[in-house]
């Protein structure tokens, strides 16, 4: 290994590039930017304003924060539904006035004043909702106009009644308490905001109406097609926003004991900025109440902080303008480019130097030498099948295989002409095995481990294992369960090939070559799934040894076969029994002569082996070239290899014509025949094995003669 290669190996195997992509797949990264902004804002203003964090100071500023947060919660819900409500400032002001009018001028009870405020907000919200929801007007302009209308009305009312309010003698302890009192150290407005935030959060994340709002915001047309009443949902968001703003208005009426020309001024742009800065997306569907609240704290801290620092008129508008422009731009660019960035950085290849191998070319004289024997195999289901990854035969000689369409197809003995869909599972059924009582166990790609009873009842056995503490990507989920086999005690040993890619992205996994394959075990006694081994390059076929005391499993991208001991002195450990094969191993199954069959899904090429030593080149390749032009393992040629208990190669056969079985992912010996399947093939092959035991069957080998 020269110095350049050593550097490359360090660079690509030690620097965890893949974590960047994994972090970006997380939904919480959406929250990270506003959260950091919040911390920075509080940090900066807290350190330059003396006494910022003092309790009395906080009580005073949180009182305002409570009112503002209420308005922002309403705005957030409207924005989640795909709209916008600029009328909140007017609703706030008018509700405030309603409460003041009822309490101070009509001298009614405070509760009637509250009812008046709520009524005002609901009616105003309903008007907005009707115009935007039912008449489908543009939300921005429409609410802008109703905002002007409401503001004009408020200005008229305030100038008309200002003097009367001043002269009013009405007073109430309840009003003073709501306005100035605290409850457990927090003002009433903060308590109300907290309660409403929790209720709204639960409603949005866990209730049908909330989901409808998010669905409408996410995609109006799809929501409509799904049967959601889009117009009514939009209508309700505006009513809710009116409701929230009216509570805010009532609170400020209590706090200030009156209404003035400045009430609710610039509130709409502040609330809008808060929601957007918090990360609630314009256009709907993305965001949460928590984000809205984070934005509310940021905006209010900034604007109030600047006033307390003594900056003059206009500074607020300047800061709001900058905040809004930056936040909106980041929001739009982030949404637009997130998946592009993700595609760019997710594939993070590592360095691997494959060992020297023996040739498999005909005439090379090695034990791996391939020939054309498989090309003469009879075909079963030619043209009817798509992707029989694994094949298996039951005690009655019927033949089963999985297909690309998520079905398990059964061909009837003895001629295997007639077929039926045995069971529909979904996903992509890959590895198959029969347990002692004749249930068909299958590893279903992208879904998990499933069992199909002889009565065709499909049951999920396992879809997850324990989550490891250090993994960022969710490694509890089984992404690519590949093959399984069953121990004499009934435990099912199976492989999950990769943690980072879905089953159909196996080519990306081979290019990245990161060792994330696992060997797992499912215990039918308690239904638990455990991870036994981790860190292999695409674990694939599993086969129980003839004595049932160990198992073989294939590590495809490293071209190795390992033996995992279940009993004996080496129990729980794995050792490599075959290394540096010229082909990529797939499924492994028992042979009648005490040896094992192994499928090769493809053959190593010098070019791809070389590229594994150049992770930088593979990285560039996945970023700059179209997928069709990528270099990845050759799967145009494969074969079937027989090996013995010690790992010695006994036999190898193939189809170098490429006509019938160019690549092989599975083979099953049954009564002197070898049944051959391939994940990219359109048939199952049946090949007569010279000199094989004509009575040997796999179920009998596993579970004994027919009971």
Partner 1 sequence: MNAIGWPNWRRLNQEGIVFAIAILLFAAAALGLPGFLTADNLVAIVRSVSVLGILALGMAVVIIGRGIDLSAVAIMAMSVAWYLQLLNTGTSDGLAFVYVLAGVLAIGLLNGFLVAYADVPAIFVTLATGSFVFGYVRSQLITQDAVPVPGGHWVELLGGVRFLDIPVEVFVFAGLAFLVFLFLRYTKWGRFIYFAGDNPVAARNIGVPVRPMLVLRYVLSAFVALIAGLLTAASLHSINTRIVNSTLLYDIVLVAVIGGIGLSGGRGGVRNVLVGAALIGILLNAMTIIDIPLLYQNLIKAAILLGAIIVDGIINPRDEQTAQQGDI
Q: What is the binding site for partner 1 (CB under 8 A)? A: 82-84, 131, 135-142, 144-146, 148-149, 151-153, 155-156, 159, 219-221, 269, 272, 276, 281-284, 311-322, 324-325, 328-329, 332-333, 336
What does DSSP assign to residue 484? E
Q: Taking Cα atoms as reference points, which of 495, 569, 558 lies closest to residue 532?
A: 495
Closest to partner 1 by CB, 95 vs 128, is 128
Q: Are 456 and 423 in contact (CB under 8 A)?
A: yes
For residue 84, the minimal CB distance to partner 1 (Å) is 5
How far are the Cα atoms of 6, 348, 370 from residue 14, in angstroms, in the given order? Answer: 12, 12, 38
Lookup: tokens for 448:
């998990």
Closest to partner 1 by CB, 40 vs 152, is 152
Closest to partner 1 by CB, 322 vs 341, is 322
Handedness of CA 416, 419, 423, 429 (dihedral sign): positive
For residue 472, the minimal CB distance to partner 1 (Å) is 30
Lookup: tokens for 527:
């239904």
- As a whole number of Å, the CA-based R_g of the chain is 34
For residue 667, the minimal CB distance to partner 1 (Å) is 51
Place of tokens 């089984």: 478
Place of tokens 């209404």: 259
What distance in Å separates the CA atoms of residue 233 and residue 215, rounded to the nearest whole number? 10
Closest to partner 1 by CB, 261 vs 355, is 261
The separation between the first and the last C-alpha atoms of the chain, rounded to the nearest angstrom, is 59
Closest to partner 1 by CB, 155 vs 616, is 155
Q: Element (H or E) spanning 590, and its range?
A: strand 583-590
Closest to partner 1 by CB, 283 vs 658, is 283
Give the 3-state secondary structure of residue 299.
helix
Lookup: tokens for 440:
């068909």
For residue 163, the minimal CB distance to partner 1 (Å) is 16
Closest to partner 1 by CB, 101 vs 434, is 101
Q: Which residues pair with 652 in a beta bridge?
A: 641
Q: Are 502 and 560 in contact (CB under 8 A)?
A: no
Closest to partner 1 by CB, 86 vs 612, is 86
Query: What are the helix (H) ranges across 257-314?
Result: 267-278, 289-308
Closest to partner 1 by CB, 78 vs 542, is 78
For residue 334, the minimal CB distance to partner 1 (Å) is 11
For residue 35, the minimal CB distance to partner 1 (Å) is 22
Closest to partner 1 by CB, 9 vs 123, is 123
Closest to partner 1 by CB, 111 vs 134, is 134
Closest to partner 1 by CB, 312 vs 363, is 312
Strands of 116-252, DSSP E:
182-183, 186-187
Closest to partner 1 by CB, 163 vs 705, is 163
How deeply is 233 buried, as exposed, middle or buried, from its count of CB atoms within 10 A (0-12, 13-18, 19+)? Answer: buried
Q: Are 486 and 438 in contact (CB under 8 A)?
A: no
C-alpha 229, offset from chain centre: 28
For residue 131, the minimal CB distance to partner 1 (Å) is 7
For residue 41, the minimal CB distance to partner 1 (Å) is 18
Lookup: tokens for 414:
């003895």
For residue 47, the minimal CB distance to partner 1 (Å) is 23
Lookup: tokens for 311:
């900056």
For residue 155, the minimal CB distance to partner 1 (Å) is 5
Closest to partner 1 by CB, 159 vs 657, is 159
For residue 92, the minimal CB distance to partner 1 (Å) is 17
For residue 85, the minimal CB distance to partner 1 (Å) is 11
Rounded to 10°, the helix 55-80/188-206 angle is 30
The Cβ-side half-sphere exposure at 207, using a 13 Å CA radius, reads 10
For residue 381, the minimal CB distance to partner 1 (Å) is 44
For residue 336, the minimal CB distance to partner 1 (Å) is 7
What distance in Å separates the CA atoms of residue 95 and residue 241, rounded to the nearest whole number? 13
What distance in Å separates the CA atoms of residue 699 and residue 705, rounded to the nearest whole number? 8
Q: Are 374 and 363 in contact (CB under 8 A)?
A: no
Q: Are 486 and 544 in contact (CB under 8 A)?
A: yes
What distance in Å separates the CA atoms of residue 600 and residue 634, rounded to the nearest whole number? 11
Handedness of CA 679, 684, 690, 696 (dihedral sign): positive
């Amino acid at each position: 290994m020269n110095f350049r290669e050593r550097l490359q190996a360090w660079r690509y195997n030690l620097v965890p590039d893949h974590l960047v992509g994994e972090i970006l797949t997380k939904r919480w990264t959406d929250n990270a930017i506003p959260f950091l902004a919040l911390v920075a804002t509080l940090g900066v203003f807290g350190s330059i304003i003396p006494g910022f964090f003092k309790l009395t100071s906080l009580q005073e500023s949180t009182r305002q924060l409570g009112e503002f947060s209420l308005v922002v919660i309403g705005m957030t819900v409207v924005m989640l539904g795909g709209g916008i409500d600029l009328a909140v400032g007017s609703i706030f002001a008018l509700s405030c006035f309603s409460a003041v009018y009822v309490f101070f001028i009509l001298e009614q009870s405070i509760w009637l004043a509250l009812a008046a405020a709520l009524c005002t907000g609901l009616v105003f919200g309903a008007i907005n909702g009707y115009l935007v929801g039912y008449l489908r007007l543009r939300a921005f302009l429409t609410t802008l106009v109703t905002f002007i209308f409401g503001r004009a009305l408020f200005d008229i009312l305030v100038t008309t009644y200002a003097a009367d309010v001043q002269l009013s003698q009405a007073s109430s302890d309840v009003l003073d308490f709501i306005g100035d009192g605290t409850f457990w150290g927090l003002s009433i407005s903060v308590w109300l905001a907290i309660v409403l935030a929790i209720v709204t959060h639960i409603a949005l994340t866990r209730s049908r109406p909330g989901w409808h709002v998010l669905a409408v915001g996410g995609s109006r047309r799809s929501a409509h097609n799904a049967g959601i009443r889009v117009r009514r949902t939009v209508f309700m968001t505006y009513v809710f926003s009116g409701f929230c703003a009216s509570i805010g208005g009532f609170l400020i009426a209590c706090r200030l004991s009156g209404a003035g020309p400045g009430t609710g001024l610039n509130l709409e742009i502040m609330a809008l900025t808060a929601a957007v800065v918090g990360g609630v997306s314009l256009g709907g569907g993305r965001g949460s109440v928590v984000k809205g609240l984070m934005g509310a704290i940021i905006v209010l801290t900034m604007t109030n902080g600047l006033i307390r620092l003594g900056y003059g008129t206009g500074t607020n508008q300047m800061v709001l303008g900058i905040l809004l422009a930056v936040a909106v731009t980041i929001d739009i660019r982030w949404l637009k480019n997130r998946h592009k960035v993700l595609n760019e950085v997710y594939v993070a290849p590592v360095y691997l130097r494959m060992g020297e191998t023996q040739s498999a070319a005909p005439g090379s004289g090695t034990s791996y030498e391939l020939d054309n024997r498989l090309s003469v195999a009879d075909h079963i289901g030619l043209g009817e099948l798509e992707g029989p990854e694994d094949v298996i035969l039951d005690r009655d000689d019927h033949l089963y295989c999985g297909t690309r369409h998520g079905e398990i197809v059964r061909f009837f003995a003895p001629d295997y002409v007639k077929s039926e869909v045995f069971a529909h599972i979904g996903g992509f059924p890959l590895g198959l095995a029969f347990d002692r009582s004749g249930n068909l166990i299958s590893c279903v790609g992208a879904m998990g481990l499933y069992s199909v009873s002889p009565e065709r009842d499909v049951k999920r056995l396992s879809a997850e294992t324990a989550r490891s503490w250090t993994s960022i990507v969710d490694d509890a989920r089984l992404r690519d369960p590949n093959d399984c086999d069953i121990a004499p005690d009934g435990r099912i040993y199976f492989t999950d090939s990769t943690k980072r890619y879905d089953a159909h992205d196996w080519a990306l996994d081979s290019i990245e070559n990161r060792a994330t394959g696992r060997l797992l075990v499912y215990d039918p006694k308690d239904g638990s799934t455990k991870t036994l081994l981790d860190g292999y390059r695409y674990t694939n076929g599993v086969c129980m040894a003839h004595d049932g005391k160990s198992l073989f499993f294939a590590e495809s991208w490293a071209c190795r076969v390992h033996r995992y001991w279940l009993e004996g002195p080496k129990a729980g450990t794995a050792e490599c029994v075959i290394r540096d094969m010229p082909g990529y191993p797939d499924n492994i199954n028992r042979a009648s002569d005490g040896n094992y069959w192994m499928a090769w899904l493809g053959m190593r090429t010098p070019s791809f082996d070389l590229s594994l030593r150049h992770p930088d080149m593979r990285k560039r390749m996945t970023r700059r070239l179209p997928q069709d032009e990528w270099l990845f393992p050759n799967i145009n040629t494969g074969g079937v290899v027989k090996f013995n208990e010690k790992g010695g190669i006994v036999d190898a056969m193939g189809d170098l014509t490429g006509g019938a079985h160019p690549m092989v992912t599975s083979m099953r010996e049954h009564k002197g025949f070898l049944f051959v399947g391939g994940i990219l093939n359109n048939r199952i092959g049946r090949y007569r094995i010279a000199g094989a035991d004509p009575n040997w069957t796999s179920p009998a080998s596993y579970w004994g003669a027919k009971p």
